Every structure is written in C-alpha cells, then in structure tokens.
C-alpha cells in the first residue's frame, strides 16, 4: 500500500482545528462570560471527523485534491458553531450527521477514484426516482413540501439522493460519448445526443427527477437539479441552443407556477413586499434583513446576538444567523470559502484526464454552487425563499450527507487514474510530449 503524505491538507486542517477550538471558546464566553469545555469539545469533534478522513486518505494512498477537504471543514465548523448557539439541543445529533457525512465523503471519494461508482450512475438515478415516487405517494409534509420519506424513526429527503443520482448518471452517459480533448464546437448537439438511446434515457430520467421534485413542492431542490443538469449538458455538448432553450422553458415554468399555484404566487408576493404581512408570512424575511443589519461589519460576536429570532435559523436561514454574530466579515468569509471550493471543483474538471470524471466534477461543483447561490440569495432577499439548506453548514442529515457525497465525488475525480492515453492537458501523451 502506497502512503500519501498529503502535507498541505494536514497543514490546512491544523488551521481548521484552531478555528474550531477558538469558536467553541468564544461561544461559551459570549453566552455566559466564561470558558465551558463542552462547547470547545463539540466544535473540536467536528474538526476531528475531518482529521480522521485525512488520516484515512493518507493510509489508503488517496492522491486527490488537498484543499477541498480543509475548505469544507472550515465551512462546517462555522456552521456548527452557529447551530450550537442556536439549538444546543441539536448539537449532538448534528455532530453525528457530520461524522456520517465524513464517512460518506471518504467512501464516495474512494469508489470514484477507483472508477467503480460512475458506471452505476443510471441505476442510482433510477433508484432515486423510485424514492421520489414513493415520497410523493406516501411521504411526510414539512414546511409546505412533501419531500420527506419516513422509515420508522428515520427519515430522509429523496431529492437529496436524486442530486447524487443526476451527477453520476450524467457522468456515466455523457462521459461515455466524449473525450476530454475534443473541442466544444466539435461535440454532438443536444438533439443528436437525445436521439441516442442512452442520451434520450438520461434526459428523460433527469426530467423525471426534476418534475417529481416540483410535484413535491420542493422547488428549491428542483431548481438546483435543473440548473446543474443544464450546466453539465452544456459542458459535455457545447450546445448553446440547449442552454437558451432550457432557460426559456424554466422561465415559462416559473410563470405558470406563479400564476396557477397559490403557494408559489404567495412566495413571490412576500418576496416582493414582505412588509405587506410583517407579523405573518413576511416575518422570516424581515427578521433576516434585520439580522444582517444588526451584524454590521464585524458582528456582535458569538453568543451575543439574537439569531434565534429568525424562523428556521438552524436550517434555511443559517447564513443570516452567521452574518448577525460574525458580521459582514464572517459572511464574506463563508462566501469566499464557497467560491474557493467551487473554483477548485471546476479546476478539477479542467484537469480531468478521463471524460466521465470531467462530467462528474462539473456536475458536482455546479450542484454545490447553485445551491449555495440560491440559499444566500434567499437569505438576503435577492430571490424568494426556496427551502434549500446551506451546504455543509445547515442542520440536517440528508443535506449534510448529500453535500459530503458531492464533495467526495469531486475529490475522487481528481484522484482517479486515466483510462485513456491522455496527458495532463487532455491531449494525447505523444502530443503533450
């Protein structure tokens, strides 16, 4: 077994450990005026989960990107620190979700790097569509969306599972019909792709996943899947007409939904004028804006603000809660971390030496990028609230596991060996030489 040192990753995780300890100490001082070991222990437990993933990578010889894991760890620590402040009763459970997510990350990174996962993408997407149908038929409704499938005391959001299926299925089908050294203007059009048996099946499966999610009234997840799938299709085919057509179809869909679905038109009305019902439907949006204002530049400090005033602060509105206690500086820090993570994700795609890895990396990075934009835009009032969570940070096992899975796929794409005789630049090795 070849051991990888991964020194850069180790050094960056050391900084994350310091962030975790200082966050726990600052939180306890802000709340009760003295250091409480339990707070620092909880936040350190989050960092420890990522350290164990790092050690597992070292001893299994994993050679993927060394910056993605520390960036994710920093985002998770900041989100967990705010959650510990908001809902200390959920701290232990969320810590378990983080550890579960890290296990999922390691598993998918390893499987993807060995090219044992992408080939099963269509089966995974088919299974996720079955869970979406089951959720629509017998799922539980929470927050106005029938998006939860309950299995005894446990429950999960089928739409989160569908995101992973969309990524892997796209990589399996689109990756099989292209080479990374093919110029975009020489790739087949979407129409030609749809005429192929596998291409038509992929587009139909993607559409089914999105439409079933819309039928559950989980519009945020549907938007994330739709935009990410279109971005993936464009990268694989280079067909700009497909992007324009998809945008027009999406615009038409939004117009129809806002006109004929009462809950959608109501959300648009509240988004445009939350002050029309400040004590009712507009309360959440207004309190989020107050939180941003109260935070100022440097924030009120951990344990000093009142982020719990914002409804659903631990899930949908966590970004606003973070902004109140860490200010504009903390909010920009979260944004910068996500930009770095997504940027590294697209860099992985650009350096990919196998076509399926390129597609999977683009799809994974796009899923995370779109979801982050949608939740931040919703918290700041740029877009209507859609109910999606802040990746790696918000409370919830389904969201945490799905986000970690996408990151694992991304890291696996960076480490996967090349099954094609191509150089690092996507050119044949002879030409590269």
- Angstrom distance (rounded) from CA 244 to CA 237: 14
Q: Which pLDDT band holds residue 183 (cuts at 50, 70, 90)?
A: low
Instruction: Determine how many CB atoms are found less than 10 A away from the CB of residue 89.
Output: 7
Which among 246, 235, 187 has a CA at the least distance from the CA of 359? 235
Which letter does DSSP use for residue 423 in this model?
Answer: -
- Angstrom distance (rounded) from CA 283 to CA 107: 41
Would you say residue 41 has pLDDT above 70?
A: yes
Would you say residue 215 has pLDDT above 50?
A: yes
Q: Are the beta carbons of 80 and 431 closer than 8 angstroms?
A: no
**Average pLDDT, integer, range 167-179:** 82
Task: For residue 140, list its beta bridge partners.
Answer: 148
φ/ψ (deg, to 5) at 147? -120, 5
Share of the chain above pLDDT 90, in %: 53
Share of the chain above pLDDT 70, in %: 92
**Average pLDDT, integer, range 275-300:** 91
Report the chain's mean pLDDT, rounded to a whole number: 87
Dihedral through CA 347, CA 352, CA 357, CA 361, nearest 10? 0
Question: How far apart, in Å, are the Cα atoms of 148 and each of 120, 140, 144?
Answer: 25, 5, 11
- Per domain, the residue ranges of the chain are 7-432
| Total-model pTM | 0.91
Would you say residue 152 has pLDDT above 80?
A: no
The helix or strand, by DSSP H or E, that contains position 358, with its residue range, turns out to be helix 355-380
Query: For position 429, what pLDDT does the model report?
Result: 38
Query: For position 427, what pLDDT does the model report?
Result: 34
Q: Which ranges constitute the DSSP H helices of 61-187?
A: 68-86, 91-113, 121-138, 158-176
Which letter does DSSP use for residue 218 in this model?
Answer: -
Weakest-pLDDT range from 128-137, 183-192, 265-274, 368-377? 183-192
The helix or strand, by DSSP H or E, that contains position 43, with its residue range, turns out to be helix 37-60
Q: How far apart are the first and last CA of the chain?
A: 30
What tens digit of pLDDT does each residue of 239-254 get? 888 888 888 988 888 8
Q: Are the beta carbons of 107 and 408 closer than 8 angstroms?
A: yes
Q: Which pLDDT band holds residue 425 (cuts at 50, 70, 90)?
A: very low
Query: For position 417, what pLDDT does the model report?
Result: 58
Q: Are the beta carbons of 291 and 327 closer than 8 angstroms?
A: no
């Amino acid at each position: 077994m070849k051991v990888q040192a991964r020194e850069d990753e180790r050094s960056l995780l050391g900084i994350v450990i310091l962030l975790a300890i200082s966050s726990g100490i600052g939180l306890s001082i802000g709340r009760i005026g003295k250091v409480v070991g339990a707070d620092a222990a909880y936040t350190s437990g989050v960092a420890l989960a990522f350290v164990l993933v790092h050690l597992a990578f070292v001893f299994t010889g994993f050679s993927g990107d060394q910056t993605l894991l520390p960036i994710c760890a920093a985002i998770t620590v900041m989100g967990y620190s705010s959650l510990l402040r908001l809902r200390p009763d959920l701290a232990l459970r969320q810590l378990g979700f983080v550890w579960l997510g890290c296990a999922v990350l390691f598993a998918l990174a390893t499987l993807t790097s060995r090219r044992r996962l992408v080939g099963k993408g269509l089966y995974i997407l088919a299974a996720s569509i079955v869970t979406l149908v089951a959720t629509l038929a017998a799922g539980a409704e929470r927050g106005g969306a029938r998006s939860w499938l309950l299995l005894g005391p446990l429950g999960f959001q089928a739409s989160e599972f569908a995101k992973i299926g969309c990524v892997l299925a796209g990589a399996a089908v689109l990756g099989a019909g292209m080479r990374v050294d093919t110029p975009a203007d020489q790739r087949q059009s979407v129409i030609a792709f749809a005429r192929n048996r596998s291409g038509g099946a992929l587009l139909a499966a993607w559409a089914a996943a999105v439409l079933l999610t819309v039928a559950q009234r989980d519009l945020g997840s549907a938007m994330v899947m739709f935009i990410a799938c279109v971005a993936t299709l464009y990268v694989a085919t280079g067909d700009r007409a497909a992007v324009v057509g998809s945008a027009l179809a999406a615009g038409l869909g939004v117009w129809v939904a806002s006109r004929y679905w009462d809950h959608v038109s109501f959300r648009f009305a509240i988004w445009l004028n939350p002050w029309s019902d400040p004590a009712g439907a507009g309360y959440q949006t207004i309190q989020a804006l107050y939180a941003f204002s109260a935070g100022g530049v440097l924030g009120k400090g951990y344990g000093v603000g009142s982020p719990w005033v914002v409804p659903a602060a631990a899930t949908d509105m966590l970004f606003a809660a973070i902004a109140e206690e860490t200010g504009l500086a903390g909010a920009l820090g979260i944004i910068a971390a996500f930009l770095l993570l997504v940027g590294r994700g697209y860099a992985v795609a650009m350096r990919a030496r196998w076509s399926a890895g390129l597609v999977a990396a683009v799809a994974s990075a796009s899923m995370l990028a779109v979801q982050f934009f949608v939740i931040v835009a919703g918290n700041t009032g740029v877009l209507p609230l859609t109910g999606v969570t802040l990746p790696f940070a918000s409370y919830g096992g389904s969201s945490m596991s799905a986000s970690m899975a996408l990151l694992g796929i991304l890291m696996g794409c960076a480490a996967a060996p090349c099954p094609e005789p191509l150089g690092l630049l996507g050119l044949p090795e002879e030409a590269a030489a």
